[in-house]
């Protein structure tokens, strides 16, 4: 049942926003950083595992480990503490402990019942991509970018030994069912077998012509299934290393495997967006499970073998009946990264723009999805929505896209009003003046353009940034424009004359978003350095830095009352910050 995920190729721009079948909203309060009061969104799915008794699902993602009731889909807990994306998760055989491996170079152990952090295992010198318990639960094996496999005592966390021999990253590690053998695979196109007790290298299985992403032992330990870039699954005799057969059918890279608990079925997930089921003995293809719109990176059989749970690059988790292939349910939201968020004037509605080329409207109080606006178009990446903004009266939404255009929409009906053209590269940000007369747009062409909203006429162009303009915002009185850039700075401009006022420096990476407080006294900026910075608007002085996201902060916005900031991040979440509690 070992299902090992190659998380190095997971696209970080794919974000998961669940709208679950659960009626509970308590998950928005789980494991928040200091000063944040709610979370919208659940992060990028990297691996899904059932508990041994089949009652829980553990989902490893960009913000922590989500624990679900496997029957109802209800959120039970969020385990947080890692400082970077979580690549792998594993239950101990007795179901009492969860081990998680992260790109912060550590493994963490958690009490599966209480969610309490037990201890951290440190020693890897680079990202950990795979972690797994031995069948007796006494040993943990981990593999990662430092080219090694490390063995640990599960109870004490003590390092036992390091297995060396791989000449490149180790993507996956697995124990044989009897615990005597460890298998490891990685970039070097081979699988290595090791004596678990001595660490001695037994043999190398060769035959794959490209990277091996995933493999799994059969429940009886006699067979190993492996897959990778070459789109096929290979079956091997575990004892002799002899190649048995090759299973073909996937049309793209194979990322994940799992044997059913009875050993009769093999499930495989691929970049071709499907799960395929195979007879383990004959290699015959049974059926294909289709429905995902993104690569299938990870899945797991329930302990009784009746259900398959999987996570996909389309940002969803799907549950399937293993025998019939029938789809049970989907937990879903945006299908790609959230690039921008904006409050309506009354604070009741939130608009989100996404790499999935859509704008979605949500009820702030309930998180309920209202409607989706579509229209940005183009080939490949063109058409991605980079920015979204409400007009001050709440009746109009402006969106800027990868197709070099700005689009204006009726907020109530979703109808397209007009398209503004003139930028020579993607439009990163749009902002209305308070009087609703002027729209400002920032672009990869390094400029800010001002437009008459009623006619769409171009007014003037502001130049000075040395790299792309990622974000732009008007002050409440309409007299000042703030712009943030890939040059790590925020620039303030006189909105009437276009004159440059001052430059705010301090961020150590691209500035992705800027926003004025409703009283115009404070500017908030979000950056690829994972932080939000607050500034005095009149002097440009830095006030404080808000930390808590584990990846780029792509959007920041003040609530109408000015007491709350919402921040959207590449870590797959939106955090709400109470400014009164952090000042």
The percent of residues in the chain predicted with pLDDT above 90, rounded, is 27
Report the pLDDT averaged over residues 519-544. 93
pLDDT band, residue 22 (cuts 50/70/90): very low
Max mean pLDDT range (67-71, 424-428, 507-511): 507-511
- For residue 48, pLDDT over 50 is answered with yes
Of 166, 169, 172, 31, residue with least CA distance to 88: 172
Half-sphere exposure of 331 (CA within 13 A, CB side): 26
* Of 123-127, 193-197, 375-379, 555-559, the least confident: 375-379
* Of 127-136, 140-149, 370-379, 438-447, the least confident: 370-379
pLDDT of residue 19: 31
Half-sphere exposure of 560 (CA within 13 A, CB side): 15
Give the Å distances, CA to CA, from 78 to 3, 32, 114. Answer: 22, 10, 11
- For residue 469, pLDDT over 90 is answered with yes
pLDDT tens for each residue of 440-468: 999 999 999 999 888 888 999 999 999 99
Helices (H), 113-244: none
According to DSSP, the residues that pair with 420 across neighbouring strands are 406
* Spatial contact of 136 and 164, defined as CB atoms under 8 Å apart: no
pLDDT of residue 313: 61
* Spatial contact of 22 and 314, defined as CB atoms under 8 Å apart: no
pLDDT tens for each residue of 374-408: 655 554 444 566 677 778 787 888 888 778 888 88
pLDDT of residue 40: 56
The percent of residues in the chain predicted with pLDDT above 70, rounded, is 78
pLDDT band, residue 12 (cuts 50/70/90): very low
- For residue 366, pLDDT over 90 is answered with no
pLDDT of residue 1: 34
pLDDT tens for each residue of 218-276: 888 888 877 766 677 878 888 887 888 888 888 887 767 778 888 888 888 777 888 88
240 or 422, higher pLDDT:
422
- For residue 559, pLDDT over 50 is answered with yes
Separation CA 482–CA 583 (nearest Å)? 23
Separation CA 143–CA 40 (nearest Å)? 32
pLDDT of residue 333: 54
Distance of CA 17 to the CA centre of its chain: 10
* Of 251-255, 474-478, 495-499, 537-541, the least confident: 251-255
Give the Å distances, CA to CA, from 503 to 342, 441, 518. Answer: 25, 18, 21
- For residue 491, pLDDT over 80 is answered with yes
Max mean pLDDT range (70-79, 340-349, 352-361): 70-79
Max mean pLDDT range (186-190, 299-303, 363-367, 479-483): 479-483
């Amino acid at each position: 049942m070992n299902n090992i995920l190659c998380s190095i190729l997971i696209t970080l721009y794919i974000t998961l926003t669940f709208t679950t079948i659960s009626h509970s909203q308590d998950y928005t309060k789980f494991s928040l950083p200091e000063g944040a009061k709610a979370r919208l969104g659940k992060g990028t799915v990297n691996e899904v595992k059932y508990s041994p008794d089949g009652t829980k699902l553990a989902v490893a993602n960009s913000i922590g480990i989500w624990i679900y009731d496997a029957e109802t889909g209800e959120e039970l807990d969020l385990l947080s503490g890692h400082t970077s994306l979580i690549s792998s998760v594993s239950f101990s055989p007795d179901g009492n402990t969860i081990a998680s491996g992260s790109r912060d170079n550590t493994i963490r152990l958690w009490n599966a019942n209480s969610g309490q952090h037990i201890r951290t295992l440190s020693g890897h010198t680079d990202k950990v991509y795979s972690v797994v318990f031995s069948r007796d639960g006494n040993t943990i094996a981990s593999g990662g970018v430092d080219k090694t496999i490390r063995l640990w005592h599960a109870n004490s966390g003590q390092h036992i030994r390091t297995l060396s021999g791989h000449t490149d990253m180790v993507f996956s590690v697995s124990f044989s069912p009897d615990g005597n053998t460890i298998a490891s695979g990685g970039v070097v196109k081979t699988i290595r077998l090791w004596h678990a007790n001595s660490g001695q290298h037994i043999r190398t299985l060769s035959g794959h012509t490209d990277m091996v992403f995933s493999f799994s032992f059969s429940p009886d330990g006699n067979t190993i299934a492996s897959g990778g870039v070459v789109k096929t699954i290979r079956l091997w005799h575990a004892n002799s290393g002899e190649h048995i057969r090759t299973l073909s059918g996937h049309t793209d890279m194979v990322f994940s495997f799992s044997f059913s608990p009875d050993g009769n079925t093999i499930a495989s997930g691929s970049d071709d967006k499907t799960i395929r089921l195979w007879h383990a003995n004959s290699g015959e293809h049974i059926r294909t499970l289709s429905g995902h719109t993104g690569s299938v990176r990870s899945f797991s059989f329930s302990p009784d073998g009746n259900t398959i749970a999987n996570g996909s690059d389309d940002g969803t988790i799907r549950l399937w009946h293993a025998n019939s292939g029938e789809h049970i349910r989907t937990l879903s939201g945006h299908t790609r990264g959230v690039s921008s968020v904006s409050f309506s004037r009354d604070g009741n509605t939130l608009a989100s723009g996404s790499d999935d080329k859509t704008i979605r409207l949500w009820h702030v109080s309930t998180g309920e999805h209202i409607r989706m606006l579509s229209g940005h178009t183009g080939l490949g990446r063109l058409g991605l929505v980079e920015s979204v903004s409400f007009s001050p009266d709440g009746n109009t939404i402006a969106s800027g896209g990868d197709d070099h255009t700005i689009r204006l929409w009726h907020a109530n009906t979703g109808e397209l009003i007009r398209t503004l053209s003139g930028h020579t590269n993607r439009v990163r940000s749009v902002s209305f003046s308070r009087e609703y007369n002027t729209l400002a747009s920032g672009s990869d062409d390094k400029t800010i353009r001002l437009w008459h909203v009623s006619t769409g006429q171009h007014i003037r162009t502001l130049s000075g940034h040395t790299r792309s303009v990622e974000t732009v915002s008007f002050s409440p009185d309409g007299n000042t424009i703030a712009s943030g850039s890939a040059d790590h700075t925020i620039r303030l401009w006189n909105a009437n004359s276009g004159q440059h006022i001052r430059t705010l420096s301090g961020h150590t990476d691209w500035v992705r978003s800027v926003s004025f407080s409703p009283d115009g006294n404070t500017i908030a900026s979000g950056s690829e350095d994972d932080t939000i910075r607050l500034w005095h608007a009149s002097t440009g002085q830095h006030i404080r830095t808000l930390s808590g996201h584990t990846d780029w902060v792509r959007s920041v916005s003040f609530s109408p009352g000015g007491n709350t900031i919402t921040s959207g991040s590449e870590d797959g979440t939106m955090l709400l910050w109470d400014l009164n509690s952090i000042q």
